Structure 1
């Protein structure tokens, strides 16, 4: 495996770990289209959607978004890149294809956070004639952070209260550095 392939694999793993999700594509805020020298398909993020076709049926969009740069705008992380895909009508016929430069918000999603992991070995207590024997105990508490999970959201927020969460600008700079390494 070459250095570039290893680096590309690390970037994809990093993006997956961060849970970068593209939402709300806005062609009006399009950024210039620049080519990446990364191996084909490595940075492509699948994008799907639906639309109402000319017959009033449900058409579909299937394609990919290839990030080319990241920036911070008004405290939010913005991904700029190329959206490529195919529009298919409700009858299954291809209506058209899209290849367009777009900018969209990128959201860092956090699904779970570890609250407590307690692992006790066997325990023997002799308290004034009362003998307590306890075998191995494993207690693992994980909070799930998602819409509607009030307690999970609260515990994850408290758990990460003192973490140095990067700003959108710092995260954009890190992601742009990784993209620059892939272009070499």
Structure 2
């Protein structure tokens, strides 16, 4: 894996962690406990919108709307988690504001790999004269990517084979790298 592919993988990891953090938060568990806090200062660290529903005191369906801002990553039990601030507002079924939430939460994060490169072959121009049959072929660039995922048996198999010799970083190593990237983004 070259430097560019590793950097691309890190960027994909950060984006996947942010997306999974939003899916892993539970608005019903984040009951309002503090008064509204001042909005956070604008930074280069991206926030992820978080929405959800809950059952209000009248038995209706209330709504939660807010955002998750990651502050660091950590390894817990061999798994990678994103830790950050969940900020939002709870409104009941009548549209009245019930309360606001500003809490530190952690959510599972996973590495999403869109594709893995199986073959990248470039053939230069080719001129063949086969007993009077002339074949001229211009440059050919063949790229074969395997796409892993549920139901993609061949893609899963080829990605596993292609990555056999790659070292798999531990959750702690990934957490350190991602936290460092967040710190760099915060300085922009």
Distance 1:170-1:45 versus aligned 2 partners, 3 A rule: same
Alignment of 1:23-62 (within 5 A): 23-25=23-25, 40-54=42-56, 59-62=62-65
Alignment of 1:167-178 (within 5 A): 167-178=170-181
Q: CA RMSD in A?
A: 3.3
Q: TM-score, normalised by structure 2?
A: 0.66
Among residues 5, 12, 19, which one is paired with 1:17 in the alignment?
A: 12
Q: Does 1:155 align with 2:158?
A: yes
Query: Partner of 2:160: helix, strand, or coil?
Result: helix
Q: TM-score, normalised by structure 1?
A: 0.68
Asked if 1 retains the 8 angstrom alpha-carbon contact of 2:64 and 2:89, the reply is yes
Query: Partner of 2:151: helix, strand, or coil?
Result: coil
Shift of 1:102: 0.9
Distance 1:52-1:175 versus aligned 2 partners, 3 A rule: closer
1:33 aligned partner:
none
Give the structure with the larger strand fraction.
1
Among residues 142, 146, 168, which one is paired with 1:165 in the alignment?
A: 168
Distance 1:134-1:179 versus aligned 2 partners, 3 A rule: same
- State the distance in 2 between where 1:56 and 1:172 align: 41
1:105 aligned partner:
108
